Amino acid sequence: MTSWSALDEELGAWARAGRTAMLWWRDDDATRPTPALERLLDIRRRHDVPIALAVIPARAEAGLAERLRREQGVVAWQHGWAHMNHAPLGAPKAEIGPHRPAAWILGELARGWLRLDAVFGADGWRKVLVPPHNRIAEAVIDALPAAGYRGLSAGMEPRPKARGRAMVNAHVDIMNWSTRAFAGEAEALGALVAALRTRREGTVDADEPVGYLTHHLAHDEAAWSFTDSVLGRLKAHAAVRFREPDALFA
């Protein structure tokens, strides 16, 4: 059972080694202003942690862009097209998986691109793709640069070496999707500590910062409380730095 003390010990190991643990924050499924979004933005402001919001184009409302224009430290990315599941029965959910021709999927992504241009303006969102359900077909990955995307963020494993810096994944999802509730402190802290340790020990690419993933519309009170606590503890530690989402694909 991983505890807060285990996180403190891991961060202490980074500090003793004279190294800085790099993290970043992504939140998925944004569509419009809601009380949950306001709570997310309040936590972001209080801890001064930048965030990437993955926006579902087919459901995106103009009010979301209007709200985010009044906010600092937030960038919008493209979350697929409609967050639909096209996987066969019994297979892991995927909208951008290998179950349909890549040309169909790229056509949907182009619709999403145009929709986000209409909502945010062409310069109001970053051309980074976040696949719904964190799954994407290899053929689609290969086509993304020619389609105009500058980055990809999936999960939950570290990026393959062949993908280089064009992929920056999220690694610590605090939700249990079988119950649609907070995964629990032990599981969330365990994933965070493991992601930090493997980078410190060099068993995965230490240049890929640890991605902390939230879903504001699905949070219960325990998920909100944990996010508030863990971001506050991480931001206050001298051996931790949060990356700006805009800098991840520089």
**Which superfamily, per CATH, for 4-247?**
Glycoside hydrolase/deacetylase (3.20.20.370)
Contacts 24+ apart (CB under 8 A), 99-103: 102/137, 102/139, 102/140, 102/143
Alpha helices in the chain (DSSP H): 4-16, 35-47, 62-68, 102-120, 138-147, 185-201, 221-236
Q: How far apart are CA 167 and CA 152, in angstroms?
A: 5
Structure tokens at 110: 């182009």
Q: Are strands 151-152 and 51-55 parallel, antiparallel or unpaired?
A: unpaired
Given a contact cutoff of 8 angstroms between Cβ atoms, the answer to whether 199 and 10 are in contact is no
Amino acid letter, 70: R
Given a contact cutoff of 8 angstroms between Cβ atoms, the answer to whether 168 and 151 are in contact is yes
Counting runs of H as helices and runs of E as strands, what totals does the chain give? Answer: 7, 10
Q: How far apart are CA 47 and CA 56, in angstroms?
A: 26
Amino acid letter, 174: I
Residues with Cβ < 8 Å from 235, sequence gap 6 or more?
47, 48, 49, 242
pTM equals 0.95
For the chain, 250 residues long, give each residue's pLDDT as a single digit of tens.
679 999 999 999 999 999 999 999 999 999 999 999 999 999 999 999 999 999 999 999 999 999 999 999 999 999 999 999 888 998 889 899 999 999 999 999 999 999 999 999 999 999 999 999 999 999 999 999 999 999 999 986 777 765 666 899 999 999 999 999 999 999 999 999 999 999 999 998 888 999 999 999 999 999 999 999 999 999 999 999 999 998 999 7
Q: How far apart are CA 94 and CA 99, in angstroms?
A: 9
Res 157: pLDDT: 72
Q: How far apart are CA 105 and CA 75, in angstroms?
A: 24
CA angle 84, 168, 239 (to 5 degrees): 130
Q: Are strands 51-55 and 21-30 parallel, antiparallel or unpaired?
A: parallel
Domain boundaries, the chain: 4-247
Which residues on neighbouring strands pair with residue 221, listed in sequence order? none
Residues with Cβ < 8 Å from 37, sequence gap 6 or more?
30, 64, 67, 216
Given a contact cutoff of 8 angstroms between Cβ atoms, the answer to whether 199 and 210 are in contact is yes
